[in-house]
Amino acid sequence: MDYNEIGIKAFQEKRYEDAAKAFTEAIENNPDEAIGYVNFGNLLAAMNDIERAERFFQKAIAVDEKTATAFYGLANLYYNSERYIEAAKLYQKSIDFGIQGADAYFMLAKSFERDEKHKLALPYMQRAAELAQNDLQIRLSYGILLCALEMFDKAKDELQFVVENDENNADAHYNLGVLYAVSTENIEAALYHLKKAYTIAPEFDQAKYIYDMVRQRYN
């Protein structure tokens, strides 16, 4: 009987007590395998029991110091606690030890970005976008990061891709509008995208503010 599989199924179905029992059995039956500790850590994190989750991820790493998923889980805890530099180091370890997909690169980039280290974030965000070319959230974040670094031509391509695939993405329209306003003389495009942003999201006060400011400046 695979208690980890039983626990994961219960976890996915939000039967947290059953999941906890199954993961406990998995650990008791195989105390020298890291996966049970990782699974229990993920469960505790989902239940917002952060201190215990941290201990289980650390135990998994103590059992097997190359457990990529343990580093990734621990990194998520630190990121959510605004411990961005610690999180970045752990995301990097999860990548080094073989975690697959775009998410770790994306979160590593976001960790640097939140710590205002935009240049450090760039190669990891670019890699995330390469690995998940149709992920609009990643492509939007990549475009915003490029704007922060004043790489406007590349940023425009990314943001345009997002609005072409999701015409109701207010954030993409807003950032495109700001891009046109600050880096081109195409004020018509700037006003169009800014207006589109606050039309889609009426609570988007910043888009309305920038729209009014641009319109007043050029009228």
Q: Which of 204, 141, 205, 210 is nearest to 180 (CA)?
A: 210
Distances (CA, A) of 115 to 26, 76, 86, 110, 180: 38, 15, 11, 8, 26
The owner of tokens 């009014």 is 212
- What's the pLDDT score for residue 218? 75
> Domains in the chain, please, with CATH?
136-219 (1.25.40.10)
- pLDDT 10s digit of each residue in the chain, 219 long? 699 999 999 999 999 999 999 999 999 999 999 999 999 999 999 999 999 999 999 999 999 999 999 999 999 999 999 999 999 999 999 999 999 999 999 999 999 999 999 999 999 999 999 999 999 999 999 999 999 999 999 999 999 999 999 999 999 999 999 999 999 999 999 999 999 999 999 999 999 999 999 998 876
Q: 164: burial class by Cβ within 10 Å (0-12, 13-18, 19+)?
A: exposed
Per the CB < 8 A criterion, the answer to whether 143 and 119 are in contact is: no
Q: Smallest Cα–Cα separation from 142: which of 117, 127, 103?
A: 127
Q: Is 89 within 8 Å of 112 (Cβ atoms)? A: no
User: For residue 217, what pLDDT is reported?
Assistant: 83
Closest to 106 measured CA to CA, from 146, 81, 135, 69: 135
- Provide the 8-state DSSP code for 47: T
| Structure tokens, 129 | 């976008």
146, amino acid identity: L
Cα(129)–Cα(138) distance, rounded to whole angstroms? 6
